[in-house]
A and B are shown apart, each in its own frame.
Chain A
Amino acid sequence: MLAIHCDKVTKSYGEKVILDGVSLEVPEGKIFGLLGPNGAGKTTLIRIINQITGPDSGSVSFFGEKLSRHHISRVGYLPEERGLYRKMKVGEQALYLAQLKGLSAADARKKLRYWFEKMDIIDWWDKEVQALSKGMAQKVQFIVTVLHEPDLLIFDEPFSGFDPVNANLIKDEILEINQKGTTIMFSTHRMESVEALCENIALVNQSQVILQSPLRALKESYRSNAWVVEWFGESLPSQWPQDVELVDYEFLGGRYTIQFRIHSQSAVSNLVSVLMAQGTLFGLQEKLPSLQDIFIERVTNKTNG
């Protein structure tokens, strides 16, 4: 089933078109990446899914039902622009936000205790938010986002502003929640930050979805036969097997890093035997294009074509 299905969603503010016939399919239980540069329309799309704003035309369905107000408690949303009331106590504030999501006070208190202990911030319960470090505040925001155990979690630029330690901690928590069956949706312009996490992605540019695919299939389709080899020997072999093309090499840190273009599967094993005969082979890997590369190629192709 699809967690989210957007069908030809259009949104404009005055003359300005923000979303132009966007269709999107987010599979249930997966981690989905909504990627694209700033100003592409990601945040507006997410706000539509969160019912902060509504589409001018087109439709959105949520786990098979037409998106409506009662779905709000089944979504957890960590916006890009996030903050807390500075003069309110941490625990009180978390309770308030949890209750706004529809939890009862008692239930919210119980769950908050669990999470505050898990994240090791229980001592901060009675502190005012303004006394918290940025990292602490972000932990609180994260907890409040996931507390009501929603079916869909949406993170807009999730790792911006987190220090590496906290970013990893949050990442692990998100993966753990995903393991339990929650659909996760990331939205970011820093594609490399979520590349390793997402199973499915959609690329958004200039108000439109220009590409939507499972990540692996996408990378397969964009393979360029580029391979990287790490090898050590007296000198580079003078002859290469058939279908193997030397692109570039450099000698660094006591070994060669060699770039090839290899045009057939058999050529790969031939190359391996040549390299192993004449030196020590440390590694051989197909170089798949990064999302960033694919995105840039798509965008330039589109504008060129």
Chain B
Amino acid sequence: MDKILLIIKREYLSRVRKKSFLLLTIVGPILFALLMLAPSLMMLLPQSEKAIVVLDQPNLMDRHKGSDELQFQYANPSTYTVEDLKQMLRDNEDLYAALYIPSGESWDPDYISSNVVFFARGDISMQVESYVRDYLQKQITDEKLKVLGVDPLVIAGAKTSVKLRTIDISKTVETETHAGPKMIVGMVSGFILYFFIFIYGSMVMRSVIEEKTNRIVEVIISSVRPFQLLLGKILGVAMVGLTQFGIWVVLTMLLVFGVSFLLLPSLMDPEVIASSGGMVEDNGMAEALLSGLDFAAMINIPLVVGCFVYYFLFGYILYGALLAAVGSAVDSETDAQQFVLPVSIPLILSIIVLMRVINDPDSSLVVIMSYIPFTSPVLMMARLPFGVAPWELLLSMFFLLLTTVFFVWISGRIYRTGILMYGKKPTFKELYKWLFYQE
């Protein structure tokens, strides 16, 4: 037991002391924080206004000034022609585009709507295009209704906005559900888990190959059992992963909240938030922040973190042990590729199915795969925020535990033979035979 601790200690310290570990561990949360704050930070950036010159013959735009990003300037239809409009755009670098709305001969709304032209240098941004289209559609619709004798006031009064709330009745206390944030938490934790399993699993494999190629392995297994070395290595690397995850969680939280509080102290002022009341869109940062806080309240963070640790640990041990067996069987990392692919197919499959969770977290494919040990870590994490019955979770965890123990045992048997075999490229058939060699 003492020897396993020695091995764990060496495996752990030799990695944690590396500069690359330090770098990734510190840069990681900064990237995360940036990612989470990006939408809010974007709003702080000054928007560049795009100037568009409009030749509006039917006066359909009603001299509309534009939005934050768009500024419409109007050319007098009685003095300017389409050609003048194009010339204006050519001459004036400050103009982003030119919009031509012809009246036709009869001022027929249908004629107008199908003959509006944008002139531009190159392409027009999607945003601008859809803004103009939407605005014109609304104007023309109003125009048509007016022609039909409908009072615009009646139309305004008839407009209804539906606020859709979803109530989850599966809980004893009915709660409002919010699919969006849940989906984000599920996807993000599924993805992070996938990367963690992959990164740390292949770290174990590389380490096994390294020990084999620099020939230290036989020196070590003359002191400890191969299985002790394997286990010590897997657990040591697991602790590296948990350390990194722990630091990330703490740093990300500090960063997200720290940045929010430092950058926008005024927005956190309740009075400001209250007074901004109706004009939430002008106060995007505050809303993003509030929704972030909401978010935290909505999702059972201790459960998510706890499950993440469990599924990372056992998912990683499962794949790490298999990859260690692969590493022991080959002489170099290039030789390992042919075995790595079959081993990691279930993991890749689970990331593909992860996309389906967005559409339907309760689809039977997702549910079944969240029980199957090779795919359960990623998919159960993805399902978790949507609510998973305790028995489902425990069953999935139990399957994973059993499978992991079994495959660690299998891998140990391949490993102890593999590490002493040099100079031949093994086949699956050979690996299978190694299972039954006597120790």
Tell me whether A100 and B218 are in contact in the complex, defined as CB-CB below 8 angstroms, given that A87-B14, A88-B14 are known contacts.
Answer: no
Contacts of B420 in A (CB 8 A): 47, 52-53
Q: Pick from A47, A99, A144: contact of B6, CB below 8 A.
A: A99
Give, as a whole number of angstroms, the nearest-CB distance from B415 to chain A.
13
Per the CB 8 Å criterion, the residue count for chain B at the interface is: 25
Q: Pick from A14, A72, A85, A88: contact of B222, CB below 8 A.
A: A72
Contacts of B223 in A (CB 8 A): 72, 97, 100-102
A81 to B214, CA, bound (A): 9
Give, as a whole number of angstroms, the nearest-CB distance from B392 to chain A.
43
Contacts of B211 in A (CB 8 A): 85
Give, as a whole number of angstroms, the nearest-CB distance from B437 to chain A.
6
A93 to B3, CA, bound (A): 14
Closest to A55 in B: B438
Residue-wise, chain A 77-116 has the 8 Å CB interface mask toward B (1 for contact) of 1110111111110000000110111100000000000000
Interface residues of B, dominant DSSP: helix
Contacts of B437 in A (CB 8 A): 13-14
Judging by beta carbons under 8 Å apart, are A97 and B221 in contact? no
Judging by beta carbons under 8 Å apart, are B6 and A83 in contact? no
Q: Give the bracket for the number of chain A residues in contact with chain B.
A: 20 to 34
Contacts of A47 in B (CB 8 A): 420
Q: Pick from B14, B216, B222, B438: contact of A50, CB below 8 A.
A: B222
Residue-wise, chain B 209-224 has the 8 Å CB interface mask toward A (1 for contact) of 0110011101111111
Judging by beta carbons under 8 Å apart, are A85 and B218 in contact? no
Contacts of A144 in B (CB 8 A): 219
Judging by beta carbons under 8 Å apart, are A84 and B216 in contact? yes
Q: Which of B219, B417, B437 has the most CB of A within 10 A?
A: B219
Interface residues of A, dominant DSSP: loop
Give, as a whole number of angstroms, the nearest-CB distance from A105 to chain B.
10
Judging by beta carbons under 8 Å apart, are A84 and B214 in contact? yes
Judging by beta carbons under 8 Å apart, are A79 and B14 in contact? no
A212 to B97, CA, bound (A): 99
- List residues 11-60 of chain B with CB under 8 A from any CB of chain A: 14
Q: Which of A78, A88, A99 has the most CB of B within 10 A?
A: A99
A79 to B420, CA, bound (A): 11
Asked whether B433 is an interface residue with its Cβ less than 8 Å from the other chain, the reply is yes
A-B contact pairs, 10 of them (CB 8 A): A51-B222, A52-B218, A52-B221, A72-B223, A78-B219, A82-B216, A83-B219, A85-B14, A87-B14, A97-B219
Can you add 4 more A-B contacts, CB < 8 Å, to A52-B221, A84-B214, A85-B211? A54-B438, A83-B219, A87-B14, A100-B3
